[in-house]
Amino acid sequence: MTIDEQTQRDAIARAGDRVRALSLSLGRKPTACVVTFGCQMNARDSEKLAGILEESGFSIIDDEDADFLIYNTCTVRENADKRLFGRLGAVGARKKEKPWSRLAVCGCMMQEELHVDRLKKSYPFVDLIFGTHNLFTFPSLLDAVLAPENAGNMIVDVWDRTDRILEHLPSKRKYPFKSGVNIMFGCDNFCTYCIVPYVRGRERSRRSADILDEVRRLADDGVREVMLLGQNVNSYGKNVPAGEEAAYGSFPELLAGVAEIPGIRRVRFMTSHPKDLSDELVETIRSHDNIARHLHLPLQSGSDRILKRMNRGYDSAGYLALCERIKARVPDIALTTDIIIGFPGETPEDVDATIDVVRSVRFRNAFTFLYSRRSGTPAAGFADQVPKETAQEGFDRLLRTVQEIAAEETKKQEGSVGEVLVESVNENDARLVTGRLSDNQLVHFPGDETLIGQFVRVKLCEAKGFYYIGQRVQGSDAVH
């Protein structure tokens, strides 16, 4: 264990003493709730926060009325910012009645000074603010914010960078049977619209031995599906300290290593940048049945002019050729994507070009976003911002195409049998359970909660746009 890791372990013990004292005065175990906005990376960070809170003695609940409430924020698009401030007002009012309670805000938004200033000015009841780079110091911060002498003081600790990666901190998984695993942090790509490189910092990879150890421990603990997480997994192991390359290797090597760990039934990864997806990666997917038949490959735009201004490092022909190569090698793979509409300077003809690419690739699903001006990014300073109505018109046009193609592609699998990892009881109909196929498509089928966490063979009876209604294949037992 490193000195940093020992420091944080000691802090968890001290925070634990404070939680015990609080427990005595309340006459019950104090509760904590972690609310996550944004991406898979934030969801994984929240599991670490919940793990630290649980190990300090809090009982983790899913209710914002908890004694310790923490918002893990996102700032990739504007509506995420708005959602936070909307929630905070209501919490402030409730907090007056519970002087022992604590409110923390962390994550990507806190890396931007304007948001921290706004909290200081208009939301003085927030007790703790920290950012993405010092998430691993949460035990020390928790200890400090629980100290009675700090009640009513706002603790603000936001770092502007870090080169440290802490291993061996606790985490509390949302699902017992699947888990995200960070393989790298940060991004060096600087797409001109994107705030991530500013709020998540430079690329840092974890050592492959640490990653493989974590996955082995997860497998021993009952995890069957892992999702390897990085802003651009294809940069894994690049830009590492000179002479230490061997401790990392390449992403395909790491992926193969993870897929070969006994007990791991399915491996996913997110996100793969099209500019540097190697043939070796495609070959690794092809040669491992338990690597998911799904590749999320953000296109962002199909117009070469816009791609250039976005600094994406590929053009539409290159993207199309890459998709063809992948489909030729792994025919059963489902391609999905992200697309931004309304980027500065985008014309209806540029949207046409994007729609053309969507029609050629035939994505199984696409996440479409209206461009959101993020202050501090190069594109925020571009003069030719697109009027909202023009962007909305393009967005609606694109969405219609995306939905039409996704529905057609989903329909093609109708009648086939696939293996579903059951995740939950269906939210709307308790007679159904919900799970995902290897290609990430959602399936709802009759079943009960005993199937959660199991792989089940299901016939895809009816395609419904982006999902299927299925039926468990007769006579088949759940496969573990």
Interface with ligand SF4, residue 189, by CB under 6 A: yes
State the binding partner of 272 from ligand 5AD, ligand SF4, none, CB within 5 to 8 A by kind: none
Interface with ligand 5AD, residue 194, by CB under 6 A: yes
Interface with ligand SF4, residue 232, by CB under 6 A: yes
State the binding partner of 115 from ligand 5AD, ligand SF4, none, CB within 5 to 8 A by kind: none
Interface with ligand SF4, residue 326, by CB under 6 A: no
Question: Segment 310-339, which members bind ligand 5AD (CB under 6 A)?
Answer: 338
Part in contact with ligand SF4 (CB under 6 A); list of ranges 94-102, 187-195, 220-228, 247-255: 187-195
Among 11, 35, 50, 76, binds ligand 5AD (CB under 6 A): 76
Nearer to ligand SF4, 194 or 379 (CB): 194
CA dist., res. 137 & res. 263, Å (int): 32
Q: Is residue 229 within 8 Å of residue 255, measured between CB atoms? A: no
CA dist., res. 327 & res. 319, Å (int): 12
DSSP string, 23-51: HHHHTS--EEEEEE-S-HHHHHHHHHHHH
Number of residues that bind ligand 5AD (CB under 6 A): 12
Nearer to ligand SF4, 194 or 391 (CB): 194
Q: Smallest gap, in angstroms, from Cβ of residue 448 to ligand SF4?
A: 40
Among 10, 90, 117, 190, binds ligand SF4 (CB under 6 A): 190
CA dist., res. 351 & res. 20, Å (int): 58
Interface with ligand SF4, residue 313, by CB under 6 A: no
Using H for helix, E for strand and C for coil, what is the string for 400-444? HHHHHHHHHHHHHCCCCEEEEEEEEECCCCCCEEEEECCCCCEEE
Work out the burial of residue 469: count CB atoms within 10 Å of its CB; fewer than 13 is exposed, 13-18 middle, 19 or more buried: middle
Judging by DSSP bridges, how do beta strands 155-157 and 178-182 pair with one another?
A: unpaired
Q: Which two tokens stand for residue 337?
A: 């994507």
Interface with ligand SF4, residue 110, by CB under 6 A: no
Among 300, 336, 401, 413, binds ligand 5AD (CB under 6 A): 300
State the binding partner of 190 from ligand 5AD, ligand SF4, none, CB within 5 to 8 A by kind: ligand SF4
State the binding partner of 273 from ligand SF4, ligand 5AD, none, CB within 5 to 8 A by kind: ligand SF4
Strand-pairing partners, residue 71, are: 35, 105
Q: Smallest gap, in angstroms, from Cβ of residue 331 to ligand SF4?
A: 27
State the binding partner of 197 from ligand 5AD, ligand SF4, none, CB within 5 to 8 A by kind: ligand SF4
Q: Which two tokens stand for residue 253?
A: 């090597």
Q: Smallest gap, in angstroms, from Cβ of residue 341 to ligand 5AD?
A: 9
State the binding partner of 369 from ligand 5AD, ligand SF4, none, CB within 5 to 8 A by kind: ligand 5AD
CA dist., res. 435 & res. 198, Å (int): 35
Interface with ligand SF4, residue 40, by CB under 6 A: no
Give the per-residue contact string, 215-234, with ligand 5AD (x = CB under 6 A; - = no): --------------------
In sequence order, what are the residues at sequence separation of 6 or more whose Cβ sits closer than 8 angstroms to the Cβ of residue 7?
Answer: 140
Q: Smallest gap, in angstroms, from Cβ of residue 403 to ligand 5AD?
A: 17
How much of the chain is helix, strand and coil, in % rounded to 5? Answer: 40, 20, 40
Question: Segment 347-406, which members bind ligand 5AD (CB under 6 A)?
Answer: 369, 371-372, 374
| C-beta contacts of 219-223 below 8 A and 24+ residues apart | 219/261, 219/262, 219/263, 219/264, 220/263, 221/176, 222/176, 222/177, 222/453, 223/173, 223/176, 223/177, 223/178, 223/179, 223/263, 223/264
CA dist., res. 357 & res. 363, Å (int): 9
CA dist., res. 107 & res. 73, Å (int): 5
Q: In what order do the strands lie in the sheet with 266-270?
A: 178-182, 225-229, 266-270
Interface with ligand SF4, residue 84, by CB under 6 A: no
In sequence order, what are the residues at sequence separation of 6 or more whose Cβ sits closer than 8 angstroms to the Cβ of residue 139?
Answer: 8, 9, 11, 12, 15, 52, 56, 169
Nearer to ligand SF4, 161 or 464 (CB): 161
Among 194, 270, 291, 437, binds ligand SF4 (CB under 6 A): 194
Q: Residue 283, by phi and psi: left (phi above 0), alpha (psi -120 to 50) or beta?
A: alpha
Among 187, 255, 306, 351, binds ligand SF4 (CB under 6 A): 187
DSSP string, 160-185: S-------S-----SSSSEEEEE-EE
Interface with ligand 5AD, residue 186, by CB under 6 A: no
Interface with ligand 5AD, residue 340, by CB under 6 A: yes
Q: Smallest gap, in angstroms, from Cβ of residue 194 to ligand 5AD?
A: 4
Residues that bind ligand 5AD (CB under 6 A): 76-77, 193-194, 298, 300, 338, 340, 369, 371-372, 374
Interface residue list for ligand SF4 (CB under 6 A)? 187, 189-191, 194, 196-197, 231-232, 273
